[in-house]
Structure 1
Amino acid sequence: MTDFTRQVHERILNNGKDLPLKHAAQSFLLESLRACYSYNFSWLSRPIIQYPQDMAALQELIWATRPDLILETGIAHGGSLIFSASMLALLDMCDAIEAGRTMDPRQSSRRVIGLDIDIRAHNKAAIEAHPMFSRITMIEGSSIDPEVVEQVRTAAAGYSRVLVCLDSMHTHAHVLAELMAYAPLVTPGSYCVVFDTIVEDMPQGSFPDRPWDKGDNPKTAVWEFLKSHPEFEIDAMMQDKLLLTVAPDGFLRRKG
């Protein structure tokens, strides 16, 4: 560990103990969620509906784990799919440079699979017209439908490094079912990232027009899942690093 890396590590550990800093971050996070702050950003022209801090975290995880398959539940405008595809393209480019060969992106085996129960026609058309689309497969249907789960498992067979991101329906039951279905696809050392666990930390009734709330949300699903899946652990260092994240307790690393 270099001096700089050690200093970063120590700062992150200190972040986790710095209550005034954490309270300030939480205050901003709650106020910015009310202001729909995450809707202000895009990735390569497509709305991504994520916090920049979480985008930076995913970039770090993708570079560190070097997946050849990224599975995402929830598509919306497609920004996250484009983000993941572009990260995989960068991995291919770097692999080619290190190997001293010319890269042909059409021959890459790295892919992104995106699931959504309703892929809007205008979003689908925009995603399909994007330069990154050659790396993307979209599946329309409920992410917990047994037929969709089996389709994904079949498509994921043969990939040696898999990263999963869950960001669709945010109820406890739905996210727990997604974890049961897709967390087993995550390869040792890689991650299952569960978004919007922040719902548990928000005031009761913050989502009057949604079926999720405090006590019934992705974080409660994560806690329940971990009771019977000791092969996964919460990467607390990631949330202490970010401070601003919609996925507290949601960065799940598979041991090994």
Structure 2
Amino acid sequence: MEKSPHQQFQDDIDARVSRYRESPALQEATSGFFNQIGIGKADYVYNFHWLGIPIIQIPQDIQAMQEIIWHTKPDLIIETGVAWGGSLVFSASMLALLESFGQIDKAEVVGVDIEIRPHNRKALSEHPLAKKITLIEGSSIEAGIVSEVRRIAARHQRVMLCLDSNHTHEHVLAELEAYAPLVSSGCYCMVGDTIIEDAPESMTSHRPWGKGNSPKSAVFEYLRRLDATPQRGEDGQLLKFGVDQMTENKILLTGSPSGYLKRV
């Protein structure tokens, strides 16, 4: 059967992206650029807004998330780490689009943070997408908070997870243990700032996390545990995640290498 133009376009993308990892010059350029835009140098991630709210993300990761949400069509996105709330507004805007096109129904975003500052809460409450956002203040790994998020998740059909709060190994691993079982088959668990494991020490020396104590080290430990002791998700099916290397390769510049986990 002859391929459609759209399928041929996708095949061209796959072939092109598969060559990126084999180019030392391209990888070196990407690494060098990231080191220059990092925190303490250009502070690049602090430059952007989404629908009027600051979003502390690398634009390439935002593009990747747009593609993932459109393709997987979750009706609930759970986010740990709120900051200004731009990521929540981004997720809410994507879900609102999916709803408007009849792709999903009664979608919402849940944002959990140990501290939601009054000016951020006010800005989010006054935003046109406020009705799609539920804010929960407290530690994302505290039992009561986990139970509250689980109760919300029980109302939804397809769940996506984004972890971007405390970046220590212990905290991220606890978040994965608590929330990854909620992720629906075919949906994603996105673990933010795994780049900490690979970043120059100068970028993390003033923080309680760093190489060997990072979101990436937690991801690898969690995947190792799932391999060693198979578990089932909230849907009763085997819980297994694969690293979406294609997404990472495609966008080249990411704050989440090995952090795009797809439930398979």
Question: TM-score w.r.t. structure 2 length?
Answer: 0.90
Aligned-partner residue type, residue 249 of structure 2: D
Q: Give the equivalent residue in structure 2 for 1:114.
A: 111
Q: Give the equivalent residue in structure 1 for 2:252.
A: 243
Q: Give the equivalent residue in structure 2 for 1:104.
A: none
In 1, the alpha carbon distance for the partners of 2:191 and 2:23 equals: 25
In 2, the alpha carbon distance for the partners of 1:9 and 1:85 equals: 29
SS of the counterpart of 2:226?
Answer: coil
CA contact (8 A) 2:17 2:246 kept: yes
Q: Give the equivalent residue in structure 2 for 1:48.
A: 55
Aligned-partner residue type, residue 63 of structure 2: A
The 10-residue stretch of structure 1 (64-73 or 206-215) with the greater mean CA deviation from structure 2: 206-215
CA contact (8 A) 2:35 2:200 kept: no
Structure 1 residue 17, shift from structure 2 partner: 1.6
Aligned-partner residue type, residue 201 of structure 2: Q
CA contact (8 A) 1:205 1:213 kept: no
Q: Give the equivalent residue in structure 2 for 1:173.
A: 170
Q: Give the equivalent residue in structure 2 for 1:26.
A: 31
Q: Residues 226-237 of structure 1: matches in 2 within 5 Å?
A: 226-230=223-227, 231-237=240-246
In 2, the alpha carbon distance for the partners of 1:240 and 1:208 equals: 28
Instruction: Tell me, yes or no, if structure 1 residue 10 matches structure 2 residue 15.
Output: yes
User: After TM superposition, where is structure 1 displaced by more than 4 Å over at least 4 residues in a row?
Assistant: none
In 2, the alpha carbon distance for the partners of 1:14 and 1:78 equals: 36
The alignment's C-alpha RMSD in Å is: 1.3
Aligned-partner residue type, residue 172 of structure 2: V
In 1, the alpha carbon distance for the partners of 2:85 and 2:201 equals: 30
Encode CA deviations 1:78-103: one digit per residue, 9 max, x unaligned. 1001000000010011117xx9xxxx
Q: Give the equivalent residue in structure 2 for 1:61.
A: 68
Aligned-partner residue type, residue 156 of structure 2: Y
In 2, the alpha carbon distance for the partners of 1:205 and 1:221 equals: 21
Q: Give the equivalent residue in structure 1 for 2:46.
A: 39
Aligned-partner residue type, residue 16 of structure 1: R
Q: Give the equivalent residue in structure 2 for 1:103.
A: none
**Structure 1, unaligned stretches of length 5 or more?**
100-107
**Structure 2, unaligned stretches of length 5 or more?**
228-239
Aligned length: 245
SS of the counterpart of 2:257?
Answer: coil
Q: Give the equivalent residue in structure 1 for 2:187.
A: 190
Encode CA deviations 1:183-231: one digit per residue, 9 max, x unaligned. 1110010000000000011123422321001111000000100002240
- Taking only the aligned residue pairs, the percentage that are identical comes to 50
